Chains A and B, each alone.
Chain A
Amino acid sequence: MAETPVAVSGGWAPLAAGLLGTLAVAAALFDGALAGRAAGARSRMGRPVGEVARLLRQRRRTTVAADRLLWRIGGAGLLGMALMIVTVVPLGRWTLFDLAVGVVWVNALDVLAWAFVWLTGWGANSAYAMVGGYRFLAHGLAYELPLMFALVAPAVAASSLRVGEVAAAQQGLWFVVWMPVAFVVYCLGVVAMAVWGPFSPAVGRDVAGGVTAELSGVDRLLFLAGRYALLAAGAAFAVPMFLGGGSGPLLPAWAWVLVKATALLAGLVWLRRRMPALRPDLFMEVGWLVLLPAVLLQDLLVAVIVIGG
């Protein structure tokens, strides 16, 4: 069994934040390139850069009787969530926060998405934003429990809630190989909490942007950056949970973590234009009648293998 990571001083936190930011920016650029290709243009990779510049200069839109406090908390919250998630993701031999219950920590943080996205929809005091907020919660009611049980599988297999130990437990065989259902459901959960791709009806064009309908300027920038950062953090957390952590030939462990996270992140970004939007009302049954039983069977299988083997 490989050594478990050691906690480094909090002074390295800016580096972790920088890495997360780099991944998020890369995701945005990649999405821009894909958008350009879909529209037939040669490349629109620079578009996210232009959009950032535009939003930084844009004046804030105000709405009547907005609940400003909750609105701002919601809009900025996603980014904070993503930063808190990566604190427990080991980068090869190092981790910022070697929490004994790291898996539950991430679980508690991903639930915060419910609060933040809904609050962003609520705060603007706008009907479309509110509809978007409720769409997200409808998705949430369907994806959250399968996501929780998907996180149970690696923890049971490693007999530990410490993220480093979960990563170390898959030296022989990556968890993604023998718990694919949990991995797929986990990825679906990450995509959902980033309000991304199939889970984008909450920010859908048919409701004038939904949750983001009234967001402008820096607030909009923070919310969009938060979505990319959440995708990146979710992909990074999948590495120790399912993709064998830092194990791999030639490269050092930290480089493998980054390579795997980047690859998964690119896949999730790419998924956006490859999957239809999931209607919240229809997805409810998919979540409870298909995903939840499937992931529970996966947990049972993992538990039986762990006890028997």
Chain B
Amino acid sequence: MLTHLVFWGLAVVAVLTGIAVFVVNSMARASYSLALSFIAVGLQVLLLQQLYVGVLVILMMVMEMTVMAVYMNMFMGMNPAMVSMNMVHGARHALPVSVGVFLLLAAGALFAPWPSRRGSPPADVTAALGTELMGPKMLTMAVVGVVMAATIVSGVVLAAHRTRYDRLGDDLRRPRAADPQPGGVGR
């Protein structure tokens, strides 16, 4: 009973802080409302006994929102992120669409004919979930992970303003790279 109450309480917190993301008027508050929303979801996952997944959701989302606050503040032109600003764009269309999508998904979750429980949950639900999700596809998942990392690295390399020719000269023979920002290991 108490677990149910806490679960629903967390659900309300998650939705309200999710709404707050669009209501508040500062980048920092928006980022951390979203972080709070994800923390509430992470705690719900903990209540489902998915300890590892729940703690990881909290870990990743707090880190992500901090990085988001950093980059938003750093890279928004003229730095409007430092002062109060409106958090919504094109609200006339975006608002009905997002409310509609939320209601659709919530209705799907509430009215789907969920199967009733057969048997009892396994001792280690996290391991069971992992096997269920990736068991036969572990090799694919491992390969996808490497491909994603390689994509990120090559994306950064392609997007980088300075190439190795800028750093090491046209024949790549410069002994020390000419970087505008000095490195910490004597390069």
A208 CB contacts on chain B under 8 angstroms? none
Indicate the member of B28, B65, B66, B181 with the most A CB atoms within 10 Å.
Answer: B66
B69 at the interface (CB under 8 A from A): yes
Interface residue tally on B, bucketed by range: 20 to 34
A213 CB contacts on chain B under 8 angstroms? none
Min CB gap A269→B, angstroms:
25
Query: Which of A6-14, A222-230, A235-243, A283-291 interfaces with chain B?
Result: A283-291
Min CB gap A301→B, angstroms:
22
Query: Which of A39-47, A54-62, A104-112, A199-207 interfaces with chain B?
Result: A104-112
Asked whether, in the complex, the Cβ of B52 is within 8 Å of the Cβ of A101, the reply is yes
Asked whether, in the complex, the Cβ of A114 is within 8 Å of the Cβ of B28, the reply is no
Asked whether, in the complex, the Cβ of B52 is within 8 Å of the Cβ of A137, the reply is no
The tally of residues in A whose CB lies under 8 Å from a CB in B reads 31
- Cα of A225 to Cα of B96 in the assembled complex, Å: 47
B167 at the interface (CB under 8 A from A): no
Asked whether, in the complex, the Cβ of A118 is within 8 Å of the Cβ of B66, the reply is yes
Asked whether, in the complex, the Cβ of B184 is within 8 Å of the Cβ of A286, the reply is yes
- Contacting residues of chain A (96-136) with chain B, CB-CB under 8 angstroms: 99-101, 104-105, 107-108, 111-112, 114-115, 118-119, 122, 134
Q: Contact string, B54-84, partner A, CB cutoff 8 A, digits 1/0? A: 0110110011011001100000000000000
A101-B51, A283-B184, A289-B185 known; A119+B28 contact, CB < 8 A: yes
Min CB gap B142→A, angstroms:
16
A111-B59, A114-B66, A137-B66 known; A161+B181 contact, CB < 8 A: no
B69 CB contacts on chain A under 8 angstroms? 118, 122
Asked whether, in the complex, the Cβ of B51 is within 8 Å of the Cβ of A100, the reply is yes
- Cα of A283 to Cα of B69 in the assembled complex, Å: 22
Count A-B contacts at CB 8 Å: 69
B59 CB contacts on chain A under 8 angstroms? 104, 107-108, 111
B115 at the interface (CB under 8 A from A): no
Min CB gap A219→B, angstroms:
17
Asked whether, in the complex, the Cβ of A105 is within 8 Å of the Cβ of B55, the reply is yes
Majority SS at the chain A contact face: helix
Asked whether, in the complex, the Cβ of A161 is within 8 Å of the Cβ of B52, the reply is yes
A104-B55, A104-B59, A108-B59 known; A67+B28 contact, CB < 8 A: yes
- Cα of A107 to Cα of B35 in the assembled complex, Å: 16
List 7 contacting pairs A-B, 8 Å CB cutoff, sorted by A: A104-B55, A115-B65, A118-B70, A161-B52, A281-B182, A281-B184, A286-B185
Interface set of B (CB-CB < 8 Å, partner A): 26, 28-29, 32, 35, 51-52, 55-56, 58-59, 62-63, 65-66, 69-70, 181-185, 187
Q: Which 4 A-B pairs have the closest CB atoms?
A: A282-B184, A108-B59, A285-B184, A285-B183
Given A67-B28, A119-B28, output 19 extra A-B contacts at Cβ < 8 Å: A70-B28, A70-B32, A99-B51, A100-B52, A101-B51, A104-B56, A108-B55, A108-B56, A108-B58, A111-B66, A115-B32, A115-B66, A279-B184, A281-B184, A283-B184, A285-B185, A286-B184, A286-B185, A290-B185
